[in-house]
Structure 1
Amino acid sequence: MDCLPTPDMCLPRMRGGVLLDCISSEALVALHRMEEEEGFARFTCRPVQRRTDQELLALYQQALQDRNRLICGLYQAKGGPAIGKLTVSDYNPRNRSAELGYFLLPAFRGNGCMAKSLYMICELLLLKLGLNKVYAQTGAFNRSSIRLLEKMGFQRDAVLRHHHVLEGQEWDDYIYSLLREEFPRNIDRME
C-alpha cells in the first residue's frame, strides 16, 4: 500500500455509540479553535503558528487531500457535530507505520469515548490495512493520554527529555508504539 485509503474508502466505523467518520475542513477549524481555547500548548510540543480561519481552512482542505494522512471526525451520532478528531499522519509505506494524534472536547472526556475511537482506528490500520506499527507522542504531564495509550497496550519506546514547554516548565515527552501482534483483539476486556 503506497498511501493511506481515502476516508470514504474506510469510514464510517462505529463502536459503542462512537462514530468515526469523514470530517469537513470547517469542522476541523472549529475543533482547532476549541483546542486553542483550552491551551494549544498542552497538545503539541511542535511550533505553533497563529492562523486566521481562512488560513486554517486552506490548510485543512489540503490536509484532507493528503494521501499520507487520514483525518477522522468523532461523533456521537450521524449528522451531529464533531466532538473530536483522530489524525493518522507520517505514514511510511516502507516500514508500514504511522503516527496517531487525537483530540476530544473536554465535555466528552472520561467516558471511554477516545478509547473506543483509538481502538477502531488501530483495528483499521493494523488489522485491515496491514500496518506493522502505530505510534503516538504525549507530554509527561498528560496523565490521561498516558493512561489511554497504556490501556490500549501501547509500550513506551522513548523519552524525549525536556522536550515540551508548558506554562514555563520543561517536561519530557514520551513516544509510545503498538505493534500489530500486540493489538488487543477485544476492547471489552479492557473497559
Structure 2
Amino acid sequence: MKDLIFSGAIIEDGGRIYLKDISVEQLIEIKKRIITEPEEIMTCRPVDIITLEESFKKYTESRNSSVSFDSGIFEIGTNDLTGKISCIDFNPRNGAAEIGYYVIPEFRNKRYATEAIELMLKLLFNVKM
C-alpha cells in the first residue's frame, strides 16, 4: 500500500478529495499549524513536543518504514493540500492499523476527513463503503 502512495499514484473515488504522497516539507507546514491547535483537539493521548528540525528528521525516517506512512489529503479541482492522513502499525495479516488525520482549519466541516478515512480503508483493506 505504501508503495502505491509513494509511487505518485493518486487515490480517489469520485469524491471531493484525493490522497497522494506528501512531501516532508508539506508535513512540516502542517506541523506548524498543528502546534497552534489546542492540545485537546489534536489527539487522544499525550504528544511529545519536538522541534521542527526533529519533526523533519522523524518524517524523513518514517518514509522508510514498512508499517506506517503519511499521505496528503488534496482537494479535487484546486489541488489544495487540505490535511494529512497517517497509517501507523499497519498489519495486513491480522487486518489492523491505526489511522490518524489532521485537517487544516479552513477545510474543516466539509467531511474531507470522512472521505479520507474511507479512501484509506479501501486502500488498506479493500473495504467497500
Q: TM-score under structure 2 normalisation?
A: 0.83
Q: Secondary structure at the match of 2:43?
A: coil
Compare 13-22 and 64-73 and name the one that shifted more.
13-22
Task: Indicate the percent of aligned positions where both proteins have the same amino acid.
Answer: 25
How far does residue 65 in structure 1 lie from its aligned partner after superposition? 1.8
The question of whether the paired residues in 2 share the 8 Å contact of 1:5 and 1:67 is answered with: yes
Structure 1 segments (4+ residues) deviating >4 Å = 77-81
The answer to whether the aligner puts 1:104 opposite 2:90 as a matched pair is no
**Which residue number in structure 1 is paired with residue 2 of structure 2?**
5
**Which residue number in structure 1 is paired with residue 41 of structure 2?**
42
Aligned length: 127
Q: State the distance in 1 between where 2:10 and 2:109 align.
A: 23
Q: Secondary structure at the match of 1:37?
A: coil
How far does residue 25 in structure 1 lie from its aligned partner after superposition? 1.1
Q: Secondary structure at the match of 1:27?
A: helix
Deviation sequence 1:67-111 (CA, Å, 0-9, x none): 101211011258945220011111124412111111101111111
Q: Secondary structure at the match of 1:13?
A: coil
Structure 1 unpaired stretches of 5+: 128-179, 185-191
The answer to whether the aligner puts 1:67 opposite 2:100 as a matched pair is no
Instruction: Write the mapping of 1:116-155 to structure 2, written as runs, cut at 5 A.
Output: 116-127=115-126
Deviation sequence 1:111-157 (CA, Å, 0-9, x none): 12222211111111121xxxxxxxxxxxxxxxxxxxxxxxxxxxxxx
Deviation sequence 1:38-82 (CA, Å, 0-9, x none): 123422233322222111100111112211012110112589452
Instruction: Write the mapping of 1:69-84 to structure 2, written as runs, cut at 5 A.
Output: 69-77=68-76, 80-84=79-83
Which structure has the greater CA radius of gyration? Answer: 1
Deviation sequence 1:166-189 (CA, Å, 0-9, x none): xxxxxxxxxxxxxx5xx42xxxxx
The question of whether the paired residues in 1 share the 8 Å contact of 2:8 and 2:21 is answered with: no
Q: State the distance in 2 between where 1:105 and 1:56 align.
A: 18
- Seen in structure 2, the aligned counterparts of structure 1 residues 34 and 98 have a Cα distance that, compared at 3 Å, is same
The question of whether the paired residues in 1 share the 8 Å contact of 2:95 and 2:125 is answered with: no
The answer to whether the aligner puts 1:52 opposite 2:51 as a matched pair is yes
Q: State the distance in 2 between where 1:79 and 1:16 align.
A: 13
**Which residue number in structure 2 is paired with residue 30 of structure 1?**
29
Q: As a proportion of its length, which structure holds more strand?
A: 1
